[in-house]
Structure 1
Amino acid sequence: MSNLSVAKRMFLNTLSNYGLLLFNMISMIILVRVQFTGLSRQDYGFWGLLWTIFGYSLLLDFGLGTAVQKYASQVTVNKNWDRFNRLVSTVFFSYWFISLIIIAATVIISFFIEPISKLEPGSDVDYYRKVFLLFGFGTALIFPVGFSPGLLRGIQLIWLRNNIDAVFAVINLIVMVWLIKSGYGLWEMTIATVLNHVGSKIVMLIYAFIKLENMKIGFRFFSPSMIKEVMGFSIFVYLIICSKLIIFKTDNLVISASIGVAFVAYYQVASKLGDVFRSFAMQFNDNLGPVASVMHTSGDLDSLGRMQLYSSRVIAFISTMMLVPLVVFVGPLFETWLDLTRTESQICAVILLVSQYFYVVMRSSSIQILLMCDRQKELAIVSVIECLANLLISVILVRMMGIIGVAIGTLVPNIFFGCVYNVPTACRFAKVSPLYFLRYSVLGSLMTGLVIGAVTLFLKDTVYHLIVSGVLNIAADKDAGMIARYFAEHSGILKLLALVFLSALSCGMYMILFYAIGIKKQERTDLNKLVADFFNKKLKGSS
């Protein structure tokens, strides 16, 4: 496959990722409102508790889903179907064993559902226990087919996986809204949720069988000897996942234990902004693992090195474009969104955004590629050490600097291990010097970002206030129109719309400037061809 065709597939997959992400956010906003207003506070809280408890069942995956993705990528190159079928069948039946663990845990926890959920006096405890059992058994039923998205991702059909997810997400939204509006409760919502998730995973599995024509899953292929080989990879993936979970999720515990739970709220909003940034910035990364696995398996190390440079450059472009408006408008955003004016929350948000930016740009692509190139052991060691360093620095600094110290505790190990391990390793893979890597992958985006950042700061100090004060002044006129009067009464919405408009303007200016000065002539030509081919295909499909 040529570099241009690989780039085209990655481009389409990334667009598909962003489309699904946008739809899921809109769907979440609608669904949360319908559930929050249509259910009792106890039912809504219990529904959230179910997702929290069974969300931890994902840790029982033990990295097997990532292993399946790797094997699917490899078999498209080496055609070793016998080994692949034994590996996938071993994973599949291992998942059934894990499902039995989930069922046993569900039954045990169900006996303690009343003290765990602290139901109101007079509540029907048996009803909530039955809902809990149904949700747990449903989770166990979903688990064995939960690796099917990894199969599609492994053979670089991310767009197909996203299309299936989107269809079932639409069905879920319609059914959930109908159930709640019709007066149904948690029991019916749980049945609909389980059927929806099982259905989507089975459809993905069917497509995987179609695309991987020689794939077979059966108990006769189950191989106990394969468990050791699979776990030899997946257990290190599991350590990496757990380490990242600790890094991103334990800050609140450190703050609560050290300076009080009240300060968690101020840190939480800052970390949420960083989480949203990381989620949006890393959609391109979904492509890297499968492509890297194919190149590594085929021995095309030169292409793998070029892919390392190319992916880092694309990720730097996307991340810098998003970072600029978030950093500049963090103050007005917090004030408008949450009526929060605490300086320490804003400082934490900037520190965590910079930390996430460094991770996404300088580390995330190399982690994806190294993972598919059998470097999982050293990645796991680095992740565990970073996790411990993060925890230690946060505990020390939280008493000296409050929540800002916890944010610094996240930033410092991230930058240190990125500079000591990830960047040098990425350079060795790409066979370039660190200076060339930074100049090629990051410098163009960073310089463009600094210029647009200065322009955006000017927009914040002038245009933003001009828009808000201008509309409010118009609304003060007794002859003002209905829209102006609405914004006068809801100035928060006006400010939020102004921020969205100026952020979009900032991103637009960034893309134009980067297109003009941030890429070479040949890259501009390739990009034009890529975009033209995409829209020509869309036009032909609609005619």
Structure 2
Amino acid sequence: MSVINPVETPIWKRYFWRNTASNYVRTITRLLLGVVLFRLLFSGLTAAEFGFWSLLWSLFGYGILLDFGFGFTAQKAVAEKSATGEWDELSRLLSTMLWTFVGLAVLLGLFFFAIRGPFLEAIEVPDSDYGMYSLSYLIFFAGLALTFPFGLFPEVLRGLQRIDIANWLNTGSVVLNFIGIVVALYFEASFPVIILVSVFTTLLPNMGALVMAMRRLPQVSLSPRLFQWRVVKSQLGFSIAAYLITFSNLLMAKSDQAVLGFTMGVGVIAAYQAGYKVAEMLNMFTRQLQDALSPAAAHLNASGDSAGLRELLLKTSKLTFLITTPLYGLCAVYLEPLIQLLTGMESIESDTILVGQILLFAVFSSQLTNSCTKRILMMCGYEKKLLGLSLLDGISNLGISVVLAFSFGIVGVAIGTLIPTILVGWLLVLPMALRYLNLGMINYSKYILGGAAPLLLFAPCLWATVYFLPMPAAGGFVPLAIRGALSATPAFIWIAFKVRKLM
């Protein structure tokens, strides 16, 4: 008598909802506590202290460029090597990355220590408090140097497809950071103490990730004796491509403001940012769905599972379509009160609303074409082609925005973002992914649209809400939340039942 073994559920399916839910918990926690903490710091610190705080953390944000793509490479390598059982190779690769980062951290610390005097003089800190600012500077950059090497380990957890663990560690640190700073402000602690609390709680999740990752990789050693630069050289092409893509995306995110500043002056940036903010929020919420795709694609690609890759693309693209479409519809219909809620502006200029609508549609189009496909192709040997497309998108965005800014102002800059997003996404990125997976556009479209029935329920619910319950002129969070719930809840309940069968 033969025994039939049940087909094992793919690892990406086992952790998909856990990873996605923890993504949203982390994001919402950061948003809510961040808003409260911003106001507390703004009122609790002097103008000079708050400016110094903001400057230091803006510099920290650029720290992502210092890993030279190795973090993303570690994520890919862990997903691939754990699928094939190449533990010795993975040990050498992770050890080399870690001790390279340790060396860079030492150099980073020495560099910032050396430029402390000129830096503080350049930003003109008050002479009476020079010692306090100097100590705060040293604490901050010492913490940054310590944090840098251990930033490798959240990426290792991502490669193991345990994004949920990295998220819970990050969420815990956000809560501890909030509590620590609130307590410090309440007891009127000195500014260096507040910096120390913030830096320490930033370091904690990376240290926790080290412990949790190595518990799940007992076969892997991080001994400095395993340092072998040749194993990194084999991944260098991917690392450089990932780094340049990250760099180009960072520049693209900031290029619109630069175009406006140089063509029309800084005075118009606020009006553009007001329209941009809602689109940014939509993008942030929808992209949480795709966070687990890169390690899943690397794992499936290393296993030679082309059917699994096809299933991954189809199902996650369909899920993205089902969830993003109602959210886009709500944002487009209630754009003006959303801008008022986010900015506090009482009246919104027509150009700002038009900018918001254009950028919302650009985000919606990008979610349908780029969000899932790019993450999957990146892990399947297409990093160089994706780099070329990212550069094409960025250069086109910049060029069209500059030309149109002179004729159409801030609306022209928004159009300069929309045009390359649509053309590159629909004509280049999506077709390339479908060719790789041997899927025809017609069959792909049929599959995606085949589950659109809940959206047919969403449309009349949204219309009825707008018609019978118009938004009050005063706006506000509660009226928006009520109308959003009435419009989308029936459709999302239906989507939830479909998703249970889909995934």
Normalising by the smaller structure, the TM-score range is over 0.9
RMSD: 2.2
Residue deviations 1:36-92, cap 9 Å, x none?
222222212211111012221221111111111111111221111111111111111
Partner of 1:74: 80
2:234 matched to 1:229? yes
1:244–1:383 contact (8 Å) kept in structure 2: yes
Any idea what SS the aligned residue of 2:235 has?
helix
2:364 matched to 1:357? yes
2:13 matched to 1:7? yes
Partner of 1:267: 272
Partner of 2:490: 509
Map 1:129-208 → 2, pairs under 5 A: 129-208=134-213
2:40 matched to 1:19? no
Matched residue count: 495
2:84 matched to 1:103? no
Residue deviations 1:361-409, cap 9 Å, x none?
2111111111111211111111112111111111101001111111111
Q: What TM-score results when the alignment is normalised by the length of structure 1?
A: 0.86
Any idea what SS the aligned residue of 2:370 has?
helix
Looking at structure 2, the residues matched to 497 and 437 of structure 1 have their Cα atoms a distance apart, in angstroms, of 39
Partner of 2:349: 342
Q: 1:457: how far off?
A: 4.5
Partner of 2:297: 292
1:328–1:457 contact (8 Å) kept in structure 2: no
Any idea what SS the aligned residue of 2:188 has?
coil
Residue deviations 1:482-537, cap 9 Å, x none?
xxxxxxxxx55xx3310121112222133245568xx5xxx66x36xx8xxxxxxx
2:422 matched to 1:396? no
2:333 to 328, 332, 337: 328
The amino acid across from 2:443 in the alignment is Y
2:417 matched to 1:410? yes
2:503 matched to 1:498? no
2:132–2:191 contact (8 Å) kept in structure 1: no
Q: What TM-score results when the alignment is normalised by the length of structure 2?
A: 0.93
The amino acid across from 2:392 in the alignment is I
2:465–2:486 contact (8 Å) kept in structure 1: no
Partner of 1:472: none
Of stretches 449-458 and 152-161 in structure 1, the one that deviates more from structure 2 is: 449-458
Of stretches 501-510 and 135-144 in structure 1, the one that deviates more from structure 2 is: 501-510
1:304–1:429 contact (8 Å) kept in structure 2: no
1:459–1:502 contact (8 Å) kept in structure 2: yes
Q: 1:111: how far off?
A: 2.1
Looking at structure 2, the residues matched to 10 and 228 of structure 1 have their Cα atoms a distance apart, in angstroms, of 32
Evaluate the alpha carbon distance shift between residue 454 and residue 242 of structure 1 in structure 2; reply closer, same or farther with a 3 A threshold.
Answer: farther
Any idea what SS the aligned residue of 2:189 has?
coil
2:93 to 82, 87, 97: 87
2:277–2:339 contact (8 Å) kept in structure 1: no
1:452–1:506 contact (8 Å) kept in structure 2: yes
Of stretches 2-11 and 185-194 in structure 1, the one that deviates more from structure 2 is: 2-11
Q: 1:439: how far off?
A: 2.6
Any idea what SS the aligned residue of 2:372 has?
helix
Q: 1:326: how far off?
A: 0.7
Looking at structure 1, the residues matched to 496 and 178 of structure 2 have their Cα atoms a distance apart, in angstroms, of 39
1:58 to 34, 54, 64: 64
Any idea what SS the aligned residue of 1:338 has?
coil
Partner of 2:3: none
The amino acid across from 1:415 in the alignment is I
Q: 1:98: how far off?
A: 2.3
Give structure 1 stretches of 5+ with no counterpart.
470-490, 531-543
Q: 1:248: how far off?
A: 1.3
Evaluate the alpha carbon distance shift between residue 317 and residue 147 of structure 1 in structure 2; reply closer, same or farther with a 3 A threshold.
Answer: same
Residue deviations 1:346-373, cap 9 Å, x none?
1111111111111122111111111111
Looking at structure 2, the residues matched to 199 and 496 of structure 1 have their Cα atoms a distance apart, in angstroms, of 34
Of stretches 315-324 and 189-198 in structure 1, the one that deviates more from structure 2 is: 189-198
2:169–2:209 contact (8 Å) kept in structure 1: yes
Q: 1:459: how far off?
A: 2.4
Evaluate the alpha carbon distance shift between residue 401 and residue 205 of structure 1 in structure 2; reply closer, same or farther with a 3 A threshold.
Answer: same
Partner of 2:443: 436
Any idea what SS the aligned residue of 1:215 has?
coil
2:391 to 364, 384, 389: 384
1:312–1:442 contact (8 Å) kept in structure 2: no
Q: 1:244: how far off?
A: 0.9
Q: 1:3: how far off?
A: 4.9
Looking at structure 1, the residues matched to 463 and 274 of structure 2 have their Cα atoms a distance apart, in angstroms, of 22
Evaluate the alpha carbon distance shift between residue 457 and residue 402 of structure 1 in structure 2; reply closer, same or farther with a 3 A threshold.
Answer: farther
Give structure 2 stretches of 5+ with no counterpart.
1-6
The amino acid across from 1:242 in the alignment is F
2:256 to 251, 255, 259: 251
1:288–1:365 contact (8 Å) kept in structure 2: yes
Q: How much identity, in percent, do the aligned residues show?
A: 28
Evaluate the alpha carbon distance shift between residue 444 and residue 343 of structure 1 in structure 2; reply closer, same or farther with a 3 A threshold.
Answer: farther
Q: 1:278: how far off?
A: 0.9
The amino acid across from 1:155 in the alignment is L
Any idea what SS the aligned residue of 1:373 has?
coil
Any idea what SS the aligned residue of 1:432 has?
coil
Looking at structure 2, the residues matched to 440 and 142 of structure 1 have their Cα atoms a distance apart, in angstroms, of 45
Looking at structure 1, the residues matched to 83 and 496 of structure 2 have their Cα atoms a distance apart, in angstroms, of 35
Evaluate the alpha carbon distance shift between residue 108 and residue 439 of structure 1 in structure 2; reply closer, same or farther with a 3 A threshold.
Answer: farther
Looking at structure 2, the residues matched to 442 and 194 of structure 1 have their Cα atoms a distance apart, in angstroms, of 47
2:49 to 43, 48, 66: 43
